[in-house]
Amino acid sequence: MMADQGVFFCKAVTLLDLTSIRSSLDKATQKIKTDKIKQNDVKNKAKILKAILNEIDLNPQHFGHYDSK
């Protein structure tokens, strides 16, 4: 993953609501267990989480609502 992509995902995740983040992490954890990914295999774990985050569309229900006041 290029550095620009990492920055994009960091910024994108900050906009998600906590339920969407938790759901994504739960899905990633389950896939990591199902695929028997080793605990120290950071590269494959990151690919799995990235794929799950890419599945989240730009539907406003996934994003937190902030009061700009």
How confident is the model at residue 37, as a pLDDT? 97
C-alpha to C-alpha distance for 40 and 24, rounded to whole angstroms: 20
Q: Going residue by residue through the chain (69 aa), what tens digit of pLDDT does each one get?
A: 455 666 767 777 888 888 888 999 999 999 999 999 999 999 999 999 988 888 876 555 555 555 444
Please indicate, yes or no, if residue 27 is contained in any of the structural domains. yes
On whether residue 65 sits in a domain, the answer given is no
Q: Could you tell me the CA-to-CA distances from 24 to 16, 27, 44, 59 in Å, in that order? A: 10, 5, 15, 15
pLDDT at 53: 84
Examine residue 13 and state whether it is found in any structural domain, yes or no: yes
pLDDT recorded at residue 68: 44
Please give the biggest Cα pair distance in the chain: 47
Q: Which domain holds residue 24?
A: 3-58
Domain for residue 67, yes or no?
A: no
Domain membership of residue 8 (yes or no) is yes
* DSSP 3-state of 16: strand
- The interaxial angle of helices 3-15 and 42-55, nearest 10 deg, is 50
